[in-house]
Amino acid sequence: MKIFGILRYAKMLLFSKANKEFVVFLVFLALSGIFWLLTTLNQVYEREFNIPVSVVGIPKNAVLTSEETDTVRMTIRDKGITLLTYMYGDILKKVQVSFKTYSKSNGTGVITASELQKLVYQQLANGSRITSVKPEKLEFYYNYGAKKKVPVRWSGRVIPEEMFFISRVAYHPDSITIYASREKLDSINVIYTEPLNYANFRDTLTANCELAKIKGVKMIPDNVKVTFFTDVLTEEQIEGVPIKAVNMPVGKSLRTFPAKVNISFVTGVSVYRNLKPTDFVVVADYNEIINHPTEKCHIYLKSVPRGISRARLEIGMVDYLIEDAE
């Protein structure tokens, strides 16, 4: 009974004089809206569409070294209702170009703007007109299996917190396979990641990175995982690094006083724990001594282990004695 009462009350409200006028207003509002929409959609507009273009019919012995799908931007002029069908329908979802038709013997293929227009016009309504095409041409690259394995290196800005430094960088994988023309293969010795941007971290940092794209080069895989290991900086000194003579002629030997020196440097705590004096190379050059004889000779820090920075000798000159070897 309550339901019938509610319906009766609603009927009274709906068909009262005031509500009848409101319903009539809504009907005319809807009709005017429909009329406006039809008028608007019947007008001519221009709209830019991004149309994927893919290469098909690639021979089994050929490798496409550029992106399999590129994009052309076309501005199309037509009535609004037609443009809506292009926007939300499947008509302009893709354009396919034949490898055989456009490939050249030099490992490239070129599709001009006019050729792209012809392919797209085949999908458009009769009244549609293409008013602009960007870019002016699309290119693809291929080879017949020429490849090369190259190492991966990171690029960008990766800076840990103060008093920390990057002690080691690991890549997974540490190298990738690239396919390209013979000229490009000969010129590429390393592949870099897209620029990274990390700062103010102290723990081990792992980043999944895309590789920086190179035109006409296919990379497998095209992404890597880069791990940055950090360590705490410490200023230390190692004692007893032997001085070695270089460029000594046969039958001669060089003795220095002292025979060993100390080296100060900055490194990570974990690196310092594993250091030995023989990891450093300090030399005295016989040729320099003979060409510029003085009471003392210069000694030089020739090499230091990985992870060492700001290394310096405690002394730069030592006494020496040249002897005939026994």
49 and 139 fall within a common domain: yes
Same-domain pairing of 57 and 21: no
Report CA Rg, the chain: 38
C-alpha closest to that of 154 among 227, 81, 251, 57 = 227
Long-range (24+ apart) CB contacts under 8 A made by 112-121 are 112/136, 112/137, 113/137, 116/53, 116/72, 116/74, 117/74, 119/95, 120/51, 120/74, 120/92, 120/95
- Please check whether residues 14 and 78 belong to one and the same domain: no
Residue 126 token pair: 């009769």
Q: Say yes or no: 186 and 198 in one domain.
A: yes
How do residues 43-96 score in pLDDT, each as one tens digit? 788 889 999 999 999 999 999 999 888 899 999 998 888 888 888 888 888 889
Three-state DSSP class for residue 184: helix
Question: Which of 232, 255, 276 is the C-terminal boundary of a domain?
Answer: 232
Q: Which domain holds residue 228?
A: 147-232
- Based on the fold, state whether residues 238 and 269 are members of the same structural domain: yes
Q: Which long-range contacts (CB under 8 A, 24 or more apart) does 187-190 make?
A: 188/148, 188/150, 188/214, 188/217, 189/150, 190/150, 190/151, 190/152, 190/153
Which domain CATH number covers 161? 2.170.120.40
Q: Do 188 and 278 lie in a common domain?
A: no
Phi-psi region of 77 (alpha: psi -120 to 50; beta: other; left: phi over 0): beta
Last residue of a domain, one of 169, 197, 232: 232
303 and 241 share one domain: yes
CATH code (residue 269): 2.170.120.30
Residue type, position 298, single letter: H
Residue 135 and residue 106 share a domain: yes
Residue that the structure tokens 């549609």 belong to: 128
Q: Which residues of the chain have pLDDT under 70?
A: 1-42, 325-326
CATH, residue 106: 2.170.120
**What pLDDT sits at residue 321?**
92
- Give the DSSP letter of residue 26: H
Asked if 89 and 18 sit in the same domain, the reply is no
- Which H/E stretch holds residue 211? none
Domain termination residue (choose one: 232, 264, 280): 232
Residues 139, 55, single domain; the answer is: yes
| Model pLDDT for residues 136-158, shown as the tens digit of each residue | 899 999 999 899 999 999 999 99
